[in-house]
Amino acid sequence: MVFVIAAFAIALLATRPFGLPRWVWPVAASLLIVALGYEPAPAAARAILAQWNVLLFIAGLLGISAGAHAAGVFHWITDFILARADGSWRRLFVGLFLTGAVIALLLSNDATAVVLTPIVYRAVTRHGGNPKPFLFACIFVANTASFGLPFSNPANVLILPHARLLPYVWHLAIPQLCAIAAALALLLFFFRREIAGSYGTTECGAPVAAVARALIAMALVVVCYFVALARGWPLGIVASAGAIVVVLAAGKNPVGALRRAGWSVVSLLAGLFVLFDAAARAGFVAWIAAHLTAAMHGSALVATASAAAGAAALSNLFNNLPVAVASSYVAARASAPVAYPLIAGVDLGPNLVTSASLATILWLTILRQYGVRVSFAEYLRLGAAVLPATLLPAILWLSLIR
């Protein structure tokens, strides 16, 4: 019964019937499971509190993104790239894609998709360009360049909450570089006609004081991330403290800046933690972990492909956020190192369909506000090429070094 309730809640989360917020379904399902006695209330509270590091990390990311946006950091970065592209749409496309990769790797994939998208749209249309290729670049680089470092995506912290920098980089840095290169090459090919030609050159001055302060604060946060990974400190504390620093450095009204952040994701995660703790209590998670552990002791290629491709497939079937939470329970209980292929699958999976990640769903919402329509088939046409091209290098590398 627990599994049925959890699966039904995740399906509702993915489809969002009646237009209700997505957090409603996992929260309602978790309350139902507690009310029916499948999960004691103290155990539900412990399940949420046990994930304090992840919740603090996500809250910190939301605050950092809100502070940087309020300061005008992303506006200045876009203007800088526009000026450096020297009027070439193709150079602008490459510059925005690579800059988005850096932002996704060092800040978060959600910031790349949600904050950069409207700025890129306004910048491209202001110069008379076709915004669609650049908007696709925003979301595909956000989903692709999100697993190379432990703090690039909240899913990474969920699945591997106590990651150490060197082992993590050894396993996933090379696949990350290959994925970025493959996605960029494919998008350049698909949009080769749309990004031909030129626009009028522009100038970009030095960043104003608020932008400079926020950039320095963000750089300090990234340095602290690396120090925390090297010393084994929780990333959640660094991110939440960093959010305070960035918001204050922005010099804007902190309440106004933070109000615009998407805090509902914290409630959504809390509900998912209770659901999967109940599933673990019922033995379902242990069953999956046992099968994955057995597979990992067989053929390296088959086992790695099963974990990565399975996580990617489930992310597209439901959404990668609940799959990441489920993967965290599986990785914690499996005796084999399944975390890395699970991270690759969960992070790259949303490259296929529009409902597979919260970032993609929010991206589509932003596009509709500007009158830009992206059909399921249009996204799938690109995703069907990008997903295998980005996931395959990770599978091959992880099976090779196992």
What is the DSSP code string of 307-347? HHHHHHHHHHHS-HHHHHHHHHHHHHH-SS--HHHHHHHHH
| Alpha carbon 30 to its chain's center | 24
pTM equals: 0.88
The helix (H) or strand (E) run that includes residue 5 is: helix 2-15
The helix (H) or strand (E) run that includes residue 288 is: helix 284-296
The helix (H) or strand (E) run that includes residue 236 is: helix 235-250
Which residue did the predictor score with more confidence, 257 or 26? 26
pLDDT digits (tens, 9 = 90+) for 157-184: 989 988 999 999 999 999 999 999 999 9
Exposed / middle / buried, residue 365 (Cβ in 10 Å: 0-12, 13-18, 19+): exposed
Identify the three-state secondary structure at position 44: helix
The reported pLDDT for the residue numbered 238 is: 95
- Of the pLDDT bands very low, low, confident and very high (cuts 50, 70, 90), residue 224 is very high
- Of the pLDDT bands very low, low, confident and very high (cuts 50, 70, 90), residue 4 is confident
**Residue 354 falls in which region: left (phi positive, over 0), alpha (psi -120 to 50) or beta:** alpha
Identify the three-state secondary structure at position 88: strand
Give the Cβ contact number of residue 45 at 10 Å. Answer: 13
Listed residue (145, 194, 152, 149) closest to 172, CA to CA:
149
Mean pLDDT of 239-247: 92
How far is residue 325's CA from residue 159's CA, in Å, rounded to a whole number? 7
Mean pLDDT of 352-373: 87
Q: How many domains are contained in the chain?
A: 1
DSSP state of 401: H
The reported pLDDT for the residue numbered 254 is: 61
* Domain housing 191: 2-401
Exposed / middle / buried, residue 255 (Cβ in 10 Å: 0-12, 13-18, 19+): exposed
Q: Does the pLDDT at position 51 exceed 90? A: no
Q: Does the pLDDT at position 343 exceed 60? A: yes
Give me the residues paired with residue 198 across strands.
88
Give me the residues paired with residue 88 across strands.
198
Mean pLDDT of 103-108: 90
Q: Does the pLDDT at position 115 exceed 80? A: yes
Which residue did the predictor score with more confidence, 357 or 180? 180
pLDDT digits (tens, 9 = 90+) for 66-97: 888 889 999 999 999 999 999 999 999 999 99
How far is residue 106's CA from residue 297's CA, in Å, rounded to a whole number? 34
How far is residue 315's CA from residue 323's CA, in Å, rounded to a whole number? 6
How far is residue 232's CA from residue 384's CA, in Å, rounded to a whole number? 38
229, 309, 391 from 313: Cα distances, Å? 30, 6, 12
How far is residue 377's CA from residue 383's CA, in Å, rounded to a whole number? 10
| Alpha carbon 48 to its chain's center | 21
Q: Does the pLDDT at position 133 exceed 80? A: yes
